[in-house]
């Protein structure tokens, strides 16, 4: 399978080029797309003025992320392949770790070899750009591809991806195979007192209080007198009744 | 009785006692009664959805396209299985498939909307101000049907009331989960998102999801079904539901509201004369006082004459139906001639 894949890659690399044929490095050897405009060194060049905030390329597709998938830039970078095609994780040994890295961006700095979504800053995982989300779902069985085995995205992006896919399914933009629940056979009577009208208790109807002791009742005179005799030393002159 | 946070459960104490008492007198409440229209039955002149004659007509109209009923779905990939069969074995397999399809095409119930529950059982003013949240007490006895389960809510003001239907459904789903049903209904069933669904021609899928999620007499179930049927009727997409279990419900809805013209035209375009006669028979059963019903009963009309009489008196789009009928008759004439 590895041989077939590498053959397919070579064929794509050799024959898939459209437009002016120039000596172009294959996709996975290129600089991360969208990174060319980003300054490489950490020290800001003092002579170059900062980009005006009115034209911020990164946030351009934030509101309408599906527009990026129609642009020439996207077509030139990815062609017809999914965005994760050709991405290769760097790890020691032949068996990759069961989970991809936790995140590609720590404190604003990206790691070397960022994952397919983090490396292109115009890609946004939104529940509305269904074309991008479809690239991460198998067209035959409907499962979301595993990040370790197939796509190589970092765990944070994978979590956002699953959330976006679930939200798209909730809004009707993506469709799972609807489970077949057979037509219900139970009787739907509403005559049992659990679900039908119970006549309210007579106290509620009359407007009287629920327990008789909710209302104030004058205590028997003998009890009041007894208490007054016991606490004679502490009684104030007016002695409130309550 | 231990109550925790926003939900509590009883361990066979207070609320179980009333259910035991009620269950001791089953004859009083008719525990196995069949739905709301059980009492109506034969005494009512208007036929119900569950009548055998009505069900037969609806089943005939649904059709049985085995390719559509058993179409391939997206699931785990497995290598295909090949079977070598003789003619007899193939017939046997087809017969079994037809039986399975009949089971799959069993129509979900069509019920009236349920009455909302708003009964107060007690008012304990002494509890006012002691709690900040509502407490829901659910009777978790395993052997009672869900419709006989007592579910009550204690409000922070001290009022003990019966839980509303939505609260009941949520609690029952939490403690007795059913497959395909979510505790909080998904957003897709709201009107603004149904439009997206209809645009993608996913009427059958949304109806299947609705059956999984809601009870048949809940207002949401009825609303989603009616919106779907209205959209189908508006865009004449009747074929989407043919050979599914929802077709009968749709026809019942349309005939009750006398919106059968589009369906009639669609059937004539597809050369389904038997279905048109069944539809008109059903219409006459449900609206016996209309003109064409009386004429049909007097003259005992069949086939094309029945349609003509129906079209004259009952339809709004008379011209279209006449046209479709003419086209059908020409098609029949040419096919018999050749």
Q: How far is CA B178 from the centre of its chain?
A: 18
User: Touching check for A223 and chain B: CB below 8 Å?
Assistant: no
What is the distance in angstroms between the Cα of B151 and the nearest Cα belonging to chain A? 8
Do A179 and B212 count as a contact with CB atoms less than 8 A apart?
yes
| CA B1 – CA B21 distance, rounded (Å) | 20
Residue-wise pLDDT tens digits, B261-284 = 899 889 888 888 888 889 988 988
Helix (H) / strand (E) containing B298: helix B291-299
Beta bridge partners, B92, equal none
Reference B210, options B198, B199, B221; nearest CA is B221
Residue-wise pLDDT tens digits, B127-181 = 898 999 999 999 999 999 898 999 999 999 999 999 999 999 999 999 999 888 9
- Categorize the per-residue pLDDT at B234 as very low, low, confident or very high, splitting at 50, 70 and 90: very high
User: Touching check for A212 and chain B: CB below 8 Å?
Assistant: no
pLDDT higher than threshold 60 for residue B121: yes
pLDDT higher than threshold 90 for residue A165: yes
- Categorize the per-residue pLDDT at A187 as very low, low, confident or very high, splitting at 50, 70 and 90: low
User: Touching check for A216 and chain B: CB below 8 Å?
Assistant: no
| CA B41 – CA B44 distance, rounded (Å) | 6
Q: Which residue in chain B is spatially nearest to A177 when comparing CA positions? A: B74
pLDDT at B85: 93
| CA B280 – CA B306 distance, rounded (Å) | 8
Q: What are phi and psi of B138, to 5 degrees?
A: -115, 135
What is the distance in angstroms between the Cα of A236 and the nearest Cα belonging to chain B? 29
| CA B173 – CA A100 distance, rounded (Å) | 36
Question: How many CB atoms sit inside 10 A of residue B183's CB?
Answer: 11
Sheet holding B159-162, edge to edge: B3-4, B7-9, B135-138, B151-154, B159-162, B120-123
Do B150 and A194 count as a contact with CB atoms less than 8 A apart?
yes
Reference A105, options A94, A95, A117; nearest CA is A117
User: Touching check for A190 and chain B: CB below 8 Å?
Assistant: yes
Over range A42-61, report the average pLDDT.
58
How many CB pairs below 8 Å do chains A and B form together? Answer: 136
Q: Which residues of B touch A171 (CB under 8 A)?
A: 187-188, 193, 196
Do B202 and A172 count as a contact with CB atoms less than 8 A apart?
yes
Residue-wise pLDDT tens digits, B69-114 = 888 777 777 888 899 999 999 999 999 999 998 888 888 988 888 9
Cβ-nearest to A170 among B34, B145, B186: B186
Testing the interface with A: which of B26, B58, B147, B171 to mutate, by most A Cβ within 10 A?
Answer: B147
A151: helix, strand or coil: helix
ipTM of model? 0.73
Spatial neighbors of A80 by CB under 8 A, at least 6 apart, are none
Reference A185, options B60, B61, B211; nearest CA is B211
B159: helix, strand or coil: strand
Over range A84-91, report the average pLDDT.
92
User: What average pLDDT does the structure give for chain A?
Assistant: 80
Do A210 and B123 count as a contact with CB atoms less than 8 A apart?
yes
What is the distance in angstroms between the Cα of A137 and the nearest Cα belonging to chain B? 12
User: Touching check for A208 and chain B: CB below 8 Å?
Assistant: no
Beta bridge partners, B8, equal B3, B137
Within chain A, residue ranges assigned H as helices are 2-15, 72-78, 130-134, 155-171, 202-206, 221-230
| CA A116 – CA A104 distance, rounded (Å) | 10
| CA A216 – CA B115 distance, rounded (Å) | 39
Q: Which residues of B touch A194 (CB under 8 A)?
A: 19, 22, 147-151, 162
| CA A206 – CA A225 distance, rounded (Å) | 35
């Amino acid at each position: 399978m590895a041989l077939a894949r590498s053959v397919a890659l070579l064929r794509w690399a050799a024959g898939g080029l459209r437009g002016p044929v120039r000596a172009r490095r294959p996709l996975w050897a290129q600089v991360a797309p969208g990174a060319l405009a980003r300054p490489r060194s950490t020290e800001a060049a003092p002579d170059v003025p900062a980009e005006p905030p009115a034209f911020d390329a990164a946030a351009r597709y934030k509101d309408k992320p599906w527009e990026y998938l129609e642009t020439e830039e996207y077509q030139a970078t990815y062609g017809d392949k999914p965005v994760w095609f050709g991405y290769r994780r760097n790890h020691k040994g032949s068996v990759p770790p069961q989970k991809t890295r936790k995140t590609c961006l720590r404190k604003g700095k990206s790691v070397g070899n960022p994952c397919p979504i983090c490396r292109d800053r115009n890609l946004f995982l939104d529940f509305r750009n269904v074309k991008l989300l479809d690239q991460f779902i198998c067209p035959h069985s409907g499962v979301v591809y595993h990040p370790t085995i197939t796509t190589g995205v970092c765990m944070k992006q994978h979590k956002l991806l699953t959330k976006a896919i679930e939200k798209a399914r909730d809004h009707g933009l993506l469709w799972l195979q609807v489970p077949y629940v057979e037509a219900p056979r139970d009787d739907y009577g509403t005559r049992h007192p659990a679900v039908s009208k119970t006549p309210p208790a007579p106290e509620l109807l009359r407007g009287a209080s629920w327990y008789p002791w909710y209302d104030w009742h004058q205590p028997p005179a003998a009890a009041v007198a007894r208490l007054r005799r016991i606490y004679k030393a502490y009684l104030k002159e007016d002695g409130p009744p309550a | 009785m231990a109550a925790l946070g926003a939900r509590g459960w009883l361990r066979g104490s207070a609320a179980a006692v009333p259910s035991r008492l009620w269950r001791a007198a089953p004859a009083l409440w008719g525990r196995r009664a069949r739905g709301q229209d059980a009492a109506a039955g034969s005494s009512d002149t208007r036929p119900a959805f569950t009548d055998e004659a009505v069900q037969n007509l609806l089943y005939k109209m649904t059709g049985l396209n085995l390719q559509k009923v058993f179409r391939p779905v997206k699931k785990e990939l497995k290598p295909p299985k090949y079977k070598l069969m003789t003619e007899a074995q193939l017939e046997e397999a087809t017969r079994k498939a037809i039986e399975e399809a009949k089971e799959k095409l069993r129509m979900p119930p069509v019920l009236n909307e349920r009455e909302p529950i708003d009964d107060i059982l007690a008012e304990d003013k002494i509890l006012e101000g002691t709690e900040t949240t509502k407490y829901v007490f659910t009777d978790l006895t395993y052997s009672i049907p869900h419709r006989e389960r007592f579910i009550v809510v204690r409000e922070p003001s001290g009022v003990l009331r019966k839980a509303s239907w939505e609260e009941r459904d949520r609690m029952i789903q939490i403690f007795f989960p059913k497959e395909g049903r979510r505790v909080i209904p998904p957003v897709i069933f709201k009107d603004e998102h149904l439009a997206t669904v209809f645009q993608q021609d996913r009427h059958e899928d949304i109806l299947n999801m609705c059956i999984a999620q809601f009870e048949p007499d809940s207002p949401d179930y009825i609303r989603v079904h009616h919106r779907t049927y209205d959209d189908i009727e508006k865009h004449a997409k009747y074929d989407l539901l043919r050979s599914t279990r929802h077709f009968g419900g749709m026809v019942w809805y349309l005939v009750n509201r006398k919106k059968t013209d589009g369906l009639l035209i669609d059937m004539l375009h597809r050369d389904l004369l038997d279905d048109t006669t069944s539809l008109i028979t059903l219409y006459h059963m449900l609206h016996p006082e209309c003109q064409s019903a009386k004429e049909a009963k007097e003259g005992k009309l069949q086939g094309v004459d029945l349609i003509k009489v129906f079209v004259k008196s009952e339809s709004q789009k008379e011209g279209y139906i006449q046209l479709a009928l003419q086209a059908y008759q020409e098609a029949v004439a040419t096919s018999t001639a050749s």
